Structure 1
């Protein structure tokens, strides 16, 4: 009796070790498997722990090698894998403590199947029902320490449980696992992805375990290692089955769901957190290249929330990029990334600037970049624009600052000018000009006007475009173009130095010298209304607008602090304070920064002095 069993049987092809021992214990009339294990000197963890099966082999008459093939012992080395039939599986993919089974299969076969230990196998294909892992009578989970295959530890038939029909997705997963169990070696040609690419049982259970779990759970790693029970495994299987049925759109949806809400939403790490590192760690084998290829395709053509570095494993050149990085845009335009950022911030380029803590990500719309690049290539440089208008580069810059030229493109630190804008300016001026009939001796060319250093070219053009300064042009000639063909009368531009009455007119500098004040002071006095006749030709470019009569009249009507002999040697502050106390206020207060002196009405001050 010690060396053999009364009833012996050989293991079935799809049976596990504990199921085989339980079947022998039931056939020999033992209440559970403990007697047989004690007789063989083994523990209950026989299926998952390497041990000596020689005594058990003597009792059953089955060779030790055949018994080891039923066990799920760890693979040598720190691999985290255990044996499963002719292949191997992750230890987390098997539940060797709490058995699960199909009641109908147990009643019909009188044995348990090894594939039922796989946590991803939750439905029976033969009967189209869910597996059962608990007793319907005592509601406790099934155990290997039970009186028989069909009996629970409460000694009632757990096979009376009503499991209910399984879902189509769970049955499809069960069919996939059974097919891979029967064909453990990879097939030479893959079928439709990803089902055809999951060529081994190990690949299938890893795929289901990863994509069926909840990655938003902070205890995600713990949840993938613990055996939560059949109900949790059903949910995992049905979640992962969606990816198998609607590939690759289902993978894209999974990536979108896995993206977390980030304040900055910049880059993969900010948006996906630990999800993508988990993907790399879970599917690091070359056999899952199809999965990474599809993820790269999503990030290249569907993900519009940022850019991926070229050295990243998830990078792939997109067919039609949704965004271009600031460095790529800067390289195509030949400028710096900082210039690209300013152009995006100013609205010159369509794009987005995103903060990354101490860094900043620059995203540029490729269509906007291409349009700007085409405009910049067709535009003229400053020297080319100056040659076209017939003036100098400095005058072109003044026209740009004065707002005369539109269609200006800034590329980096240099400005470029659209040809249409320059031609439009000349055409507008020519339209307002009258053809000259005489020799034009009293005329000055607009191109040569800056040489006189008395007027700014932008101000002259503004007056001409505003119909306040008449222009003249010569007959059409191929030798002259641009501003060279436009003229204005010298008297209209520079003013009359001697008026028709014979009165001499002074320029600003001459008037300032006559008054003994700064040039800025002349303008301040004119604004304050101290001159009776300033700019007699209102709205025209007349620089000699102050007559000798108006300056003499100023001396008779107004005075400075230095003219008040009563306050000789006193500062302007003292003079202002003294006169203010007498309710005599200056019409112009001093400003040392601008060179402005205090000005009083002479009649009011003389009344005080007298």
Structure 2
């Protein structure tokens, strides 16, 4: 094994392959001499110098560390590391990327970047990156002198075999769409640039593209691009002979599909449709062919945006399609269409009445004759609109969620119902057994509480609402929404004013009065007992020390009758103080002028602790008062 004499510094965003080749060139040796030392090439012929996605072993990492003179941890960062066992997903700076987004054969560079710093950026290997957002130019993938493709199969990635240096290549301006896409890729990966794009593109695409993660963005652009040309698979875009300029043009048209969403996407779907003469099936599959198959391939969950757009397209053209799996396709993410029987139940009408509603265009739906009878499919939104009109004629009712919002107490509504101040009811035609509350009863309930307001003058900083009073009461283990309502109606605790808004949170309270009220309530329930924290303060120890004494049985505690915590009778505390004393108390009582240790107490005076760290893990050494008096009375003072 050898060590390189010249050791250039690696760049944080550099490809490991670039760094190895650059290091070899600075020492005037063929990169193969370095690559052949790695175990990954022990049993296989070396075809490519692209090493970025290879799994690097600890042995190889140590070898590179020795040859190159830089820490393995730094070199590891130059690799594109897979983070799942299938080696399908890789970590790319701050982004997770899929394997089919990485170009392992074609080499792309920005000549201006090479002029400034002669190394290959790791991010250039992403298939969808066709331009440099730093310099607003197209990347190059061919020698501008001899037109030979730039690949990772060449040992000199900075210069063509014809002698042309790629950093001296002429630049071509990138189209705004491809440049925008490159900016998004840089941003997702966490690589910032100071270059600003025309603001109209950020506005146009922010609705969909700006919200995508990398995998969704990559797969969506590649899928749309494929069906704009004759590509059979995604890997075609990374082929060595594929023209980067042509791909950039495809990208431009693909990105336009995502602007003015979903209108341009719908136009794209119309263009994707298979002609009537080439249809194999008289259904959705027949209309959209391979695009439909690829769009709903289970492997590509990242295509959710396109799938939902396709589903909305089907809804907009609902009566143009009729097939057995239409409901399953449209209801993939949420229920948007409902079959006939369920639709009839939803409206509480007969099947015949439902058919009449569809025929009269009061409800949007399909009616088709099958061998086994009539098949009915309705759009849920249309059902909801019709039902809402019918419900408006009924007595006004609040659903469970509406009542929550109207009262503005969240789940506290159940507690208020439990105390009997409101009552749930159910609609006869609603088969879901959903809960409702009469709006009139809610209004009467709120007015009744408002009538208890005392209209006190209170400083603004001391004002709190209904929910905060409940929170304070819960902290004292003495309140809930229903219980607070009871206190107001019983005039135990009254609001001092009314604020803006709706529901119970318009009731305002004086925070100091509320705290005093609950403190009194708690003290009344506690009586003469002490809590753990109060006992700890009284004995001058930590709470966990008190809990340990209870555990070993030298301090007596009982459970509170109303709350789930321990309490201590004052008699038991006094008994404890009379029965036990700590090491510090012994020192203060008997050895005020000399130092004394636990060991000396045992060896010289025969006084042994009943608890302590080395005895039972206790937090404090304790002794029997009676035994201490008998053994130490002659040394007192």
**TM-score when normalising by structure 2:** 0.46
* Structure (1/2) with the larger helix percentage: 2
**TM-score when normalising by structure 1:** 0.48
Work out which of the two has the higher radius of gyration on C-alpha atoms and give 1 or 2. 1
